[in-house]
Structure 1
Amino acid sequence: MAEDVATSEKDNGGNVVDYNSPYYLHPSNYPRQMQVNDALSDKNYADWVQEMENFLFAKNKIGFINGSIEKPEKTSKDYMPWMRVDAMIKGWHTTAMEKEIRGGMKYANTVVEMWIDLRERFGKESAQRAYELKNKIAVTHQDGAIVSAYYTKLRSLWDEIQSVFPIP
């Protein structure tokens, strides 16, 4: 039988800490953590978004970028916790960007503004990127690689082209 895992406890000040709250920040979190394999560049937006969304989902912070956790009024008890988490996520995002891109993001007021701006800049369906991917597929050869490695290379290209031009 599985044990129940505590989802909250009292801190030293007697306050209840809810580990399942999207406002909870683990003590090991800090703004300059690199959360994705590669920094955002002109050529890897689709992969970067997928990794960042997965990371934020795992941290229970996805609502900050999809808009489901809106910024509370300044008079709300959730205002300061929301601001703290938003600042943390902005730090995670900017750390995971190339310097040229990061410079254009420093004036975003919230992480959702940053997320929307990035989608507008990099998330458009790109005919040029699709052309590049189609060419890569056309010139990809097995060249003595094992079948699974060759298939993995092709599958990666197919998946990327699907993310650029999704089939309805």
Structure 2
Amino acid sequence: MVGAEESSSGKKSGSAIDTNSPMYIHPSDYPKQMHVNETLTDNKYTDWSQEMMNFLFAKNKVGFVDGSIKKPDNNSPQYMLWMGCDAMIKGWLTIAMEKEIRTSVKYANSTYEIWNNLEKKVHLEHMS
């Protein structure tokens, strides 16, 4: 039997976010959590990015790095949720990078910007 505070879908009444939402952060998640087997170095981007993308897909967070989940306006009720998720993903990405790469992306405004900058850097290196 479902309690009075919880609906049959598993959502608590008055809860801020659905656990299936990309904005949901699980209580066991934290920014400095390593989720890939190897740290990103200049010569391991392809393997690293595939492994990181698999992890982000499993966490329902790919939309943050591919840009499909756009940053809401500052006055939107979703703004703080988006900012929290983006900050969490920034931590996941940067903890899995060697220091020089991490330093080159630490001032990015979003995870999308980090991901995009890394892809451009790798593309430019392959062209030279």
Q: Report the TM-score range of the alignment, normalised by the length of the smaller protein.
A: 0.7 to 0.9
CA gap of 1:98–1:17, structure 2 versus 1, over 3 A, is same
> For 1:62 and 1:102, how far apart are their aligned partners in 2?
20
- Conserved 8 A contact 1:8-1:18: no
> For 1:92 and 1:126, how far apart are their aligned partners in 2?
26
3-state SS, counterpart of residue 39 of structure 1: coil
CA RMSD across the alignment: 1.8
1:91-150 deviations in Å (ceiling 9; x for gaps):
00000000111111110011101111101112447278xxxxxxxxxxxxxxxxxxxxxx
Q: Percent of aligned positions with the same letter in both sequences?
A: 55
Per the normalisation by structure 2, the TM-score is 0.87
Equivalences, count: 121
Unpaired runs of at least 5, structure 2: 1-7
Higher relative contact order (CA 8 A, sep 6+): 2
> For 2:15 and 2:59, how far apart are their aligned partners in 1?
22
CA gap of 1:49–1:7, structure 2 versus 1, over 3 A, is farther
3-state SS, counterpart of residue 11 of structure 2: strand
Per the normalisation by structure 1, the TM-score is 0.67
Q: What is residue 111 of structure 2 aligned with on the other side?
A: 111
- Conserved 8 A contact 1:7-1:19: no
Q: What is residue 53 of structure 2 aligned with on the other side?
A: 53
- Conserved 8 A contact 2:17-2:23: no
